[in-house]
Amino acid sequence: MTPANSSHQGSKLMLYLRSTALFIAIFMVTSCIALAMLMSALLPFEGQYKLAKMWANYILFLTKSICGLDYKISGLENLPQKGVAIVLCKHQSAWETIALMGLLPKQSVLLKKSLLWIPFWGWAMATLKPIAIDRSAPKEALSQLLKQGALRLQEGFWVVMYPEGTRTAPGEERKFSASGSLLAQRTKVTVIPIAHNAGEFWPRNSFVKYPGVIQLKIGAPIAVEGRKSKDINAEAETWIKNTMLEIEATK
């Protein structure tokens, strides 16, 4: 895939100015909503979660308004209307972590425990019942995921995971972790695969955000009943890889 920054023909100065304006706006909005979430920590959880969804949707609005970065979703009909699901999503950017918060039902996200130490955003995330693991201890992390993941699903949360484990640049591939499919196999909960090309416009480790339209595609539910976790994982990985090629071909 060709990163958006290699083909952008607009003013570099305007890119930096708009990205700076977005950074300031995100910082202000995140600080205010995070403080509100912390102050409401003793109130019903649903109220806190509404604040989180409001934050996510407002960040997407700011991104479009300030940087000209919009998104298009296909496959919404594949999202179950009832019950819970386990989402296995391509990981290229910070964008999808925001977008899925606004797009999907109440969810618990698998993330690195260290992210909860980030001022404001991390503190607020800690109130949303994430599955926060220590990646330096993989066996303990897997055990924690299986136990807490099953509990969150029973509580009515969707579980959102990024099976590559870390953000990958456009065109880069990493082997999918089978932990999500193992959770699905044990709990008999449907898997929803998601692919997107956010990394072309909101690159990892980049301050600059590029204008354009992110393509986000939601796959059909993957059946798990009576299947091995490795087969579930392979189907999700294959669908995401093939869909990434489709997204690239339509550019």
**Any idea what the CATH number is for the domain that residue 89 is in?**
3.40.1130
Copy the structure tokens of residue 251. Answer: 């550019």
pLDDT per position as a tens digit, 216-248: 999 999 999 999 999 999 999 999 999 999 999
Asked if the structure places residue 204 within a domain, the reply is: yes
φ, ψ at 74 (rounded to 5°): -130, 150
Residue 163 resides in a domain: yes
Say if 1 falls within a structural domain: no
pLDDT tens for residues 114-148? Answer: 999 998 889 889 999 999 999 888 899 999 999 99
- DSSP designation for 222: B
Q: Rounded distance, CA 30 to CA 123, Å? A: 11
- Domain range spanning residue 238? 7-249
230 domain residue, yes or no: yes
pLDDT at site 137? 87
CA distances from 250 to 18, 87, 153, 197 (A): 27, 24, 36, 11
Spatial separation of the C-alpha atoms in residues 232 and 212, rounded to whole Å = 33
Q: Is 16 within a domain?
A: yes
pLDDT for the residue numbered 41: 79
2 in a structural domain: no
pLDDT-derived band of residue 9, with 50, 70 and 90 as boundaries?
low
Taking residues 196-205, report their average pLDDT.
95
Evaluate whether residue 157 is within a structural domain. yes
If you average pLDDT over every residue of the chain, what do you get? 92
Beta-bridge mates of residue 128:
none
Question: Residue 190 has what pLDDT?
Answer: 96
Determine the pLDDT at residue 1: 41
Global pTM reads 0.92
Q: What is the pLDDT of residues 18-73, one digit of tens each?
A: 999 999 999 999 999 999 998 887 888 888 899 999 999 999 999 999 999 999 99
- Cβ pair 193, 88 in contact under 8 A: yes
The rounded distance, in Å, linking the Cα atoms of 179 and 170 is 23
Task: Encode pLDDT of 89-108 as tens digits.
Answer: 999 999 999 999 999 999 99
Q: Is residue 14 included in any domain, yes or no?
A: yes
Q: How many CB atoms within 10 Å of residue 215?
A: 21
In the chain, the number of structural domains is 1
